[in-house]
Structure 1
């Protein structure tokens, strides 16, 4: 037989539940107790006709008011006369004191809890058109710094961060690394990027763009894919498409990621990006500076613009139409990106030009005529490509990708030497050796931190040097080996008078700062590249197709070619003349590099991207022209 609960037990249960509801419920009970005390006092005064000596009889309303005042102000009782009235007033006043003190304690506790919750970063944001960053990694500082620059011309921009970290800790780290926030406000919230309820706190459905960072664990890609899925499959998802940019570590997971993200998410495989840039930058001094200029938000960036006035005109006419912007390709109405298309390609309705400019409002056509100095054009024969020797010092899981990328660019008969203290080095390379068509692989078992090893392999005999770190030994140890080897290489360079084009891989930001020197030939490659690309893609998703072509071996890429291939050494020409000479070869000129300024950091190591076309420059035989070309 079921036991029947007493009214006392039921009331106790109800009372406990309401108290557990929090501060508001407690204040409600205090208000009820106060009302009961005042009503009890009022009833006694009216029933017993209690009043101060020589005072008139009190009505119910007056008795209620006098009792209410005594619950709020203990000093009121001091003026009472007549002991019966005084005793009742004292009882009411003591009850009021107890209730008021409890109320103050309750409010204090509630306020402290609210402040604690705010410090924990659990309160919901009320923002729209914000940039949302999900997750936390060292890349976040570069990304936020870049977004701050990109937001300079925006009104009240907001960056919201959600990560499974303490909010106070996130705020402290951001203050340490983000020195200047300008007009951008950064808001941090604590929570799991995989939890739908935590995601609702940062309102991804109103965000302008979403960046998903890869966590540091063995299931990083799974976490990224599940985060994208939690957004796109949310019951509260918005009607329009999301703009999501996410980072993937393992290429085997790209197919699954694309199935989840469909046309709403762009995935960046950072390992491939680093391999592509490493392979290209080690072969061309100064190319790293060009890439940095295009990937960061300082200086010039890549923009898209519809230009009705160019419809029906050729691509060649378009590259001469902008005195302060450099046209580099076309975005067709179908969505296809063409970098450095055929010069006679016709611009059609719905096409957009792809241009390098300081800002989108500086892409302005000019109707003024320009001059091309055809007498200064070069008649020299272009030198054929030579076989190249590349030296890779150290081992990394990117070796196969880097060697594979190099094989797409070098001429047949080229060579790659891999040096590391590993007797199984040749066995590690067996899976990809058979795929190489233009290079021969050689191996040397030695410690790259030992100068004697570097002297034995004769690093001065190599055209390209690549330093890699193996994170399996730990980030700090990998960076330490790279740094020591780099110091030996620089010392050998100083002693021999030979300048090496070195690309080094480092993982820790502080170690990169230690290793950096004022040389464009000495480039530190890292996950910072992925950070820059994630920032750019979060602002414009169309750039993904542009970057895929720029960094890939198919189609046109950026080259720094001898200026004497285009104009005569010693000639004083404007950039229109160089543009004309490059166009005659089926290439698009984007800038130049002055050899005299190659070591001047203030002058971007001599690199100028998107120069004013009418400005004159005197060409030195050692100068380079930056072009988009297929070879």
Structure 2
């Protein structure tokens, strides 16, 4: 007997009749289209014929003879099944059935063709293969952690536009992208969000989103530094798609500095290429020495609140730059864009504005930069000379190690006073130890770098280093590796331990935390107003700003440069007498006398309250407030 071929037990060697019938029916269905059509006819007739007969035999107007009733049954069946329903001689009935079948074949074929065409069109739309016919829209190429930040900021930037569009091209399904953006970005207002699928390195696929007619093109970085080569290929494909003479603003980002030059050459001379690791390292190092600085950058980088603009001001032609600082009541002047395109942030107060020069301002909108002299609000009597400042050595604790840590150490060595010490606590084994030794050699003699082996997520490790005794603490997560925990998971554990140390010691620890996902920032157990550097969001904000104004590429490059003018938080007592009541215009004038641009302040009483944690960028110059010794002034000045 064949294995598995026996009859069920207790059946006498025979299968049940119902089961055999089902088995036979299933086999007949496997016979193909003709068998399926035959069964469909049988099924229809088995219902239509009996019902038609019942209708005829119960109709009082039906013919009395059997032949007449059968003719009525046929007519009813024919009309129901659209078979003509003719009666009479057999040839006549046969011809009517033939015509009905031809009509049925034609109609069904036509319906099938229309249905297939509509289905293919809908499928093409769902796949995102149709071209985008837009002008002066924004194009986003790629899919990474920055896509949600970039799209959200572009939507905010277009809030006052009557008609705007953002087209996203990535190598994923259109529906998948649309659903993810709808969930993360939310309502887009007047901005239409268009998603298309395609290969980023194929010029034909790139033309699908209309880059040649776009106002700006943003090429997102990949999730791993090893994929920066794909960014370079995408930029090459973009140039092949739009040509070398296109005036489209191109903004791209890479993670590894080895690819920045190649990406810059591939993008063209007018493009802006950002390096994520370098920008992140510089901001982490600065925030470690100036707590609250990340909040200032956050305020200036997003499109909610104030941001940088370039404006024409013909009325100020021929006047020195120093006089422009008090020429606007509702905006802060911080630099110039020369007629030839050269940028000068915080130039000498004696620099004269020439024809074609544009002012770089911080304002809520470019149409709010209205001239209004506020010199009368200045009170020279409360302006003080800057007291001598003696730099003392600093002690900084670095918990964790990743590929950006070496850059952070290098930046700290540039800013910290001689004799400063950086203690590194990490458990990466020999590779980490070698990297720390290399960073220590590069930082010497300005900064002494010492390695303490240990796991920053273990309580005994942090208890052994006395974290509360340091001037500031930097928390870094490990580099992301497939199959391992997310870097932010370990960071959150370390922050929990630091929070416990704060409570036990009664001393607030200035903590600067680097994270990869902005959603984890709200989970972090740290004091209000702590510094968070979310590299993905930071670069997304930068790319969005530059895509709207090409001059801002130079502004941000200098702000994050180790040698240019940067943002600083300095004691308010260095500018005006503590305890006095005076307008912000007085602070601006005091900073001007030192060759600085004052752009805001941080209120000491409000550091733990509100979403801004006391940070006020571009306050009204005529607003009067009482200045305390613990307030800080935000200035743009040389390092």
Decide: shared fold, TM above 0.5: yes
Whether contact under 8 Å (2:310, 2:360) holds in the other structure is yes
Is 1:518–1:600's contact at 8 Å kept on the other side of the alignment? no
Q: CA deviation at 1:179?
A: 2.0
Secondary structure at the aligned position of 2:415 is classed as: coil
Q: 2:173 aligns with which of 143, 166, 170?
A: 166
1:340 to 327, 341, 346: 346
- Aligned residue-pair number: 558
The change in CA–CA distance for 1:445 and 1:618 in structure 2 (over 3 A counts) is: same
Query: What's 1:452 paired with?
Result: 460
Aligned residues of 2:225 and 2:256 also touching (Cα < 8 A): no
Q: Deviations along 1:283-339, whole A, 9 cap, x unmatched?
A: 112211110011100000000012111111111101010000000111112322111
Q: 2:262 aligns with which of 256, 270, 281?
A: 256
The CA deviation at 1:431 is: 2.9
With over 3 angstroms needed to count, the CA separation of the structure-2 counterparts of 1:472 and 1:136, relative to structure 1, is: closer
CA distance, structure 2, for counterparts of residue 77 and residue 375 of structure 1 = 106
Where does the alignment leave 5 or more consecutive residues of structure 2 unmatched?
Answer: 1-79
Structure 2 vs 1, CA of residues 515 and 165 (structure 1 numbering), >3 Å: closer, same or farther? Answer: same
Cα offset for 1:378?
A: 2.2
Pair 1:143-2:150 in alignment: yes
Does 2:275 align with 1:266? Answer: no
Cα offset, 1:380, TM superposition: 6.0
How far the C-alpha of 1:119 sits from its partner, in A, is: 1.2
Per the TM alignment, residue 422 of structure 1 is displaced from its structure 2 partner at its CA by 3.9
Summarize deviations over 1:257-284 as a string: whole Å, max 9, x none. Answer: 1221122421111111100110111111
Give yes or no for the alignment of 1:535 onto 2:541. Answer: no
What are structure 1's unaligned runs of at least 5 residues? 1-72
Alignment-derived partner of residue 352 in structure 1: 358
- Quickly say closer, same or farther: Cα 1:211–1:109, change in 2 above 3 A: same
Structure 1 residues 242-251 or 209-218, which shifts more? 209-218
Deviation for aligned residue 1:415:
1.3
The answer to whether the aligner puts 1:230 opposite 2:217 as a matched pair is no
The 8 Å contact of residues 312 and 346 in structure 1, kept in 2 or not, is answered as yes
CA contact (8 A) 1:288 1:520 kept: no
Change (3 A) 1:612 1:510: closer
**Match status 1:469 vs 2:477:** yes
Picking from 115, 128, 131, the partner of 1:108 is: 115
1:492 partner SS: helix
CA distance in 2, matches of 1:306, 1:222: 40
Corresponding residue SS for 1:395: coil
Alpha-carbon RMSD across the aligned residues, in angstroms, is 2.3
Q: Tell me what 1:617 maps to.
A: 625
| Structure 1 residues 556 and 524: alpha-carbon distance in aligned structure 2, compared to 1, 3 A threshold | closer
Name 1:130's counterpart in structure 2.
137
After the TM superposition, which residues 234-383 of structure 1 pair with which residues of structure 2 at under 5 Å, given as runs? 234=241, 237=243, 239-367=245-373, 370-379=376-385, 381-383=387-389
SS of residue paired to 1:452: helix
| Shift, 1:512, TM fit | 3.0
Q: 2:126 aligns with which of 119, 132, 152?
A: 119
> CA 1:494–1:106 in 2, change beyond 3 Å: closer, same or farther?
same
Query: How far is the alpha carbon of 1:176 from its aligned partner?
Result: 1.5
- What CA deviation, in whole Å up to 9, does each residue of 1:132-184 have, x standing for no partner? 11110121111111111101011221111111111111122112211221211
Is residue 388–residue 414 contact of structure 1 (8 Å, CA) maintained in 2? yes
CA distance in 2, matches of 1:428, 1:373: 53
Does residue 221 of structure 1 match 2:237? Answer: no
> Are 2:419 and 1:410 aligned?
no
Aligned twin of 1:600: 609
Give me the TM-score of the superposition, normalised by structure 1. Answer: 0.84
| Residues 128, 196 of structure 2: 8 Å contact kept | yes
How far residue 429 of structure 1 moved from its aligned partner, in angstroms, is: 2.4
